[in-house]
Structure 1
Amino acid sequence: MSVSAIALAQSAPPGDRLAALLAVPEDQWFDRKSGRIAPKDLARALAAFANAEGGTVIVGLHGGRYDGAELTVDKENALRQASIDFTHPPVRVHTERLDLGDGRSVLRFDIPVSEHVHETSTGEVYLRVGDESKRLSYAQRRELDFDRGSAHFEGEAAPGADAQDLDLDLLAEYRSSVGSTGSDETALRARSLLTRDGSLTHAAALLLAKDPQQWLPQASVRVLRFTSDQAGTGRRLTLEAGRDERFDGPIPSVIASASRRIAEWMPQHRALGNRGRFENIDIIPADAWLEGLVNAVVHRSYSMAGDHIRVNIHPGRIEIESPGRFPGLADPHHPLEIARYARNPRIARVCSDLGITQERGEGIRRMFEEMRVAGLQDPTYEQTSGSVRLLLRAEPSLSPQLLASLPSGGEEILRILREHDAPMGTGDIIDASGRSRPYVRTALAGLREAGLISWRGTSARDPRATWEIVR
């Protein structure tokens, strides 16, 4: 990922840095710009990063080549002043020359996450989303203004916290992930984990402290397993004895411990597996519920005291509920259309540094894909006045009546097509399933008649004909 790759590129010998920087993919925190870029255009990128989660811009690389020769003294001075001349309020930027050897160099702009919403001199507001700087509409800008209130909290000082409270092993892992060779203070400032006066922020405590709960007692995950799909209350409570556990500690430890317990308590059913044999299979794919857990921990509202994340495991579903509503830029009714936006940008970025998340805006899509490949219903979100609840149901995406009408092998062939996620020929499906041609052809005909798959070809004997899922 870019955050560690940039650090490795900068620490490499000057002659190796150009190839290393050109190989880094542009993403949420990294962008390359030509040495010919105008200062006002650079200002857009600087504001977009500051409005999102911070990042790095390298100026002097374009189209897979070096073009830093365009960076004359006058041009460099103009670019260094871009954040002052063309953004309001001015974006805080650290700028340095990066030597590439052979008399070549580029400009590196490091932009920390900001507590403010920055606009360009023309009054436009940009937000870094994936590998693009997107211009926000008026309504989106207003929502960003409101959401900045939550971002303030993780950047505030954790009262009384100091370096003695940090977990040294986690700190060393963090330093390695960001490629820091300087002091601990320098490493922490690289991700805005210190306030301007040098105090540890809430984000630093949550990520790296031995006991973050002394400042934020609500920062925990509780895992419960029930014997029924109805939780019940009082005498009708269906909570299983000994199946209620709370996990405290820094975020990396909480995620690791809670995920191990969820995997241990996950209900299973007997079904035909990928190897063509019956085996015990989790009712919900691990990649789906793990994505839900990580999202809840990274993006919950930590400013809401008195509530924690709950993972309720039922015989037929999993519920993951986290404090805080969706940020204003997100619509829970259309989860696949949610734009990349982090309520806790410092936490999100460090979790990406540590390899806990990918943070490419693909998490929700990946969760949907895992459920669909397993033939289960799409994930759904429910939003209350103070929380977001994710539901992952162990229910087939097809109705019982439709399932009953399918020929033998229909579900298996459907699963193969879902996993492949691209058109397949009949021969490919036969190879993937290990079934006979008549068996597969009968199943395909039944699925086609049910309207679940479609056939594309020029004739009945077309060797290039393919089958695919009807979306």
Structure 2
Amino acid sequence: MHAAEVDQALALPPDEALDVLARLPEGQWFERKSGRVDPKDLAIPLVALANAEGGCVVVGLYDGTVDGVPPARVNALRQAAQDFTRPVVRARVEEIRLSDDRCVLLLRVDPGEAVHETAKGDVYLRIGDESRRLGFAQRQELEYDRGSAPFDGTRARVGVDELDPIEVGAYQQAIGSSSPDAMLRARGLLTRDREPTVAAYLLFARSPQMLFPNAHVRVLRYTDVDRGTGARLSLDDDADIRCEGSIPQQIDRAAHEIERLLYRRRALSASGRFEASGIVPRDAWLEGLVNAVLHRSYSMVGDHVRVEIFPDRVEISSPGRFPGIVNPDRPLDISRYARNPRIARVCSDLGIAQELGEGIRRMFDEMRSRGLTDPVYTQTQSGVRLVLSSLDMLPEEIADQLSPGARQVLDVLRSSGRPLGTGQVEEAARIARPTAIRHLQKLQELGVVVWEGQSPKDPRAVWRIS
């Protein structure tokens, strides 16, 4: 579900709003609780949402019906955050009165500026439609990543008049808010002093590059599988494009340029005819682009999102390493964590992004459906790189014979886009030389890689994918 669906429901008359909310599926930003819920139990989704991207908890809906909150329980539930969360979760409470003395409570939770826990000391994180309790190691990593408030919630040091009223109005209409100010406050896009946050400025300013010159996407196309340097630089003429503007505008413009510049090849289509199609499926590179823009580190100056198009692959790089709770070697196991929770939620409202884990799974499915190798994530000292290769996937009978170490070596060769020497493989994979040689020989035995050299001691010998 999109986060905007809750706000759209609340814009309806009370009876209709409750009927819609009772039927909406629970998800990343929305949960229902019965009016009989214990305040201690209500603290769990409050903590989970605050540790993720915020959201709404509706109390008084159960099993598709409205059971309401009795008058005697209203105050205890309103004070659940104050009494049972540490540090106190910031939650604004609204009431929808029913025909009798009961009411339905709506608790709007803001993204936290630190790691929140329940009164028992348990830490929860919202992942999809679950409030998942974190183990000791996961909690440590979350505390490390939340050492300071998310940058997109800090003050942008500009006035509200710097925001484009047309863009703000379009978003207000999209989520069904009563006024621009109410909409901005509902999504945490204004500070308590009514100043725009960094998220508001990046999403709605006419030219966010005035304050954040590196907040743009750069699309480049190369004529060779290797970038080259100096006189051998393979960058295509007129194929170095900067896509600026607000975040939604950047994504739209970058997607248009990637579609235009992407290398194509003729392949048998679903219609039974040979047709030209991109070397990488559109849904795969588009998901990679959206994730790079939404989850990059905007506090890091001096770098930007880059999409590099080669004859055999697409590489997408973004500033900011993965948070500690994410293992880049197992991307399908990535739990939801947004570095920029306000930006991610607004882009979900606009239909630009879905849930993080879902998007990565879709990317893998798209590549596999075309018979292409899986996406490869690598982490540098200051950023993340995604490689979407046009190489064919390994046959299952070969893949089953590869150890995790051999797969890692193969990923290194695939992501490099060029042949590598044994020392280069050793360094890139961060393994000992004998280990690298053992894995390379296994890959050679299976016909996956080929060794090219004049003699066993040739210093210029390289390994390339078969």
Query: What is the TM-score normalised by the length of structure 1?
Result: 0.82
SS of the residue aligned with 1:133?
Answer: strand
Q: Distance in 2 between matches of 1:259 and 1:101?
A: 50
Does the aligned pair in 1 maintain the 2:93–2:106 contact within 8 Å?
yes
SS of the residue aligned with 1:196?
Answer: coil
Match of 1:134 in 2: 132
- RMSD of aligned alpha carbons: 1.7
Q: Distance in 2 between matches of 1:281 and 1:345?
A: 35
Match of 1:116 in 2: 114
Q: Distance in 2 between matches of 1:113 and 1:313?
A: 36
| Cα distance, 1:310–1:150 mapped onto 2, change above 3 Å | farther
Q: Distance in 1 between matches of 2:262 and 2:99?
A: 55
Q: 2:390 aligns with which of 382, 387, 394?
A: 394
Match of 1:31 in 2: 31
Q: Are 1:385 and 2:384 an aligned pair?
A: no
Map Cα deviations across residues 175-215 of structure 1 (whole Å, 9 max, x no partner): 11221113x22211111111121111111111110111111
Does the aligned pair in 1 maintain the 2:2–2:354 contact within 8 Å?
no
Q: Distance in 2 between matches of 1:99 and 1:375?
A: 56
Q: Are 1:166 and 2:195 an aligned pair?
A: no
Does the aligned pair in 2 maintain the 1:14–1:101 contact within 8 Å?
no
SS of the residue aligned with 1:106?
Answer: strand
Query: What is the TM-score normalised by the length of structure 2?
Result: 0.83
Shift in Å, 1:13 = 1.9
Q: Are 1:280 and 2:281 an aligned pair?
A: no
Q: Are 1:90 and 2:88 an aligned pair?
A: yes
Q: 1:5-404 maps to which residues of 2 (within 5 A)?
A: 5-68=5-68, 71-99=69-97, 105-149=103-147, 151-159=149-157, 161-182=158-179, 184-359=180-355, 361-398=357-394
Q: Distance in 1 between matches of 2:173 and 2:374?
A: 38
Identical residues among aligned pairs (%) = 54
SS of the residue aligned with 2:357?
Answer: coil
Shift in Å, 1:360 = 5.8
| Cα distance, 1:103–1:88 mapped onto 2, change above 3 Å | closer
Map Cα deviations across residues 60-107 of structure 1 (whole Å, 9 max, x no partner): 111222221xx2222111111111111111111111211355776311
Q: Distance in 2 between matches of 1:274 and 1:312?
A: 28
Specify every segment of 5 or more residues in structure 1 that has no aligned partner in the other structure, as ranges: 403-471
Does the aligned pair in 2 maintain the 1:15–1:101 contact within 8 Å?
no
Shift in Å, 1:48 = 0.8
Q: Distance in 1 between matches of 2:37 and 2:396?
A: 59
Shift in Å, 1:244 = 0.4
Does the aligned pair in 1 maintain the 2:160–2:195 contact within 8 Å?
no
Q: Distance in 1 between matches of 2:102 and 2:18?
A: 9
Q: Distance in 2 between matches of 1:324 and 1:360?
A: 16
Q: Distance in 2 between matches of 1:401 and 1:85?
A: 57
Shift in Å, 1:25 = 1.1
Q: Which moved more, 1:116-125 or 1:1-10?
A: 1-10
Specify every segment of 5 or more residues in structure 2 that has no aligned partner in the other structure, as ranges: 399-466
Match of 1:428 in 2: none
Q: Distance in 2 between matches of 1:133 and 1:258?
A: 35
Does the aligned pair in 1 maintain the 2:2–2:351 contact within 8 Å?
no
